[in-house]
Amino acid sequence: MVMNNGGIRSLVATGLVLREQAPGGSKQRVTLLHVRDGRESQDTRTEHTRRQAEHVGLTRIVELKMEHLYGEGRLPDGGAMGTLAASQTLLAGLATARRMQAQRLVWPASLDGDAAAIAAMTERLMLTEQLAKLELGEQGTPSLETPLLEMTDPQVIELGVSMGMGKLWGLAWSCAGGGPQACGVCVGCRRRRQALEAGGIVEGEAPGKRSRRAG
Ligand SMILES: [Zn+2]
């Protein structure tokens, strides 16, 4: 089971898992897990997960409704949305993998090579897995895998290109905004542009057109 939120890392991780499958028909054993986390771009992300699945020939997508993660505005004290989002998502993912009898859960997170963030995330992954094992036992707990965790963003792109995804980035959505087109200025859009440009890939419209629309 592969978690897929419609983004670039989801696309690459899905390709990676499919590449591991023996040729000839075992594709149907791969299920995508899509968490609807309540972000503004939610519907667009769901649509891109579906497009990715269709492109690689996967028919099984499980959608989890977790709109409370980002969909309830700011905390009363002004704190950011998404409290414990990664931990909640991972636990729900493990529970779903268990329910679907999946042996493994692949989470496509990557932190652009930030060592401190990777260390913190690794600890969280271990603790989450341990928590699941308390209830499900060693045998009953799907293994939690994060193949992209230690890669930089350009390395993720490079991996995708090496798997023949060089022209598929349009299947992945990165913008955090709720508009029909990527805004070009949010963190998601900037991270995407920097990662792709490092690989010599430039996409999208001319900056002049973008700034005119923004104005
Ligand atoms: Zn954006």
The pLDDT value recorded for residue 168 is 95
Place of tokens 């699945």: 53
What's the CA-to-centroid distance between 63 and ligand 1, angstroms?
23
Taking the C-alpha atoms of residue 171 and residue 6, their distance in angstroms, rounded to an integer, is 8
Q: From the first residue on, what is the mean pLDDT of each consecutive set of 10 residues in the chain (215 residues)?
A: 98 95 69 95 96 96 94 73 89 96 96 96 96 96 97 97 94 93 94 94 60 43
The pLDDT value recorded for residue 3 is 98
The pLDDT value recorded for residue 173 is 97
Taking the C-alpha atoms of residue 25 and residue 144, their distance in angstroms, rounded to an integer, is 24
The pLDDT value recorded for residue 178 is 87
Q: What is the pTM of this model?
A: 0.90
The pLDDT value recorded for residue 77 is 76
Total Cβ atoms within 10 A of residue 132: 22
The pLDDT value recorded for residue 205 is 53
> Residue 2's beta-bridge partner residues?
32, 106
Residues with CB under 5 A from ligand 1 (ion): 175, 177, 183, 186, 189
Structural domains in the chain, CATH included, are 2-151 (3.40.50.620)
The pLDDT value recorded for residue 123 is 96
The pLDDT value recorded for residue 12 is 98
The pLDDT value recorded for residue 21 is 81
Place of tokens 């998601």: 188
What's the CA-to-centroid distance between 64 and ligand 1, angstroms?
24
How many contiguous H segments (helices) and E segments (strands) does the chain have? 7, 5
What's the CA-to-centroid distance between 198 and ligand 1, angstroms?
19
Taking the C-alpha atoms of residue 91 and residue 77, their distance in angstroms, rounded to an integer, is 26
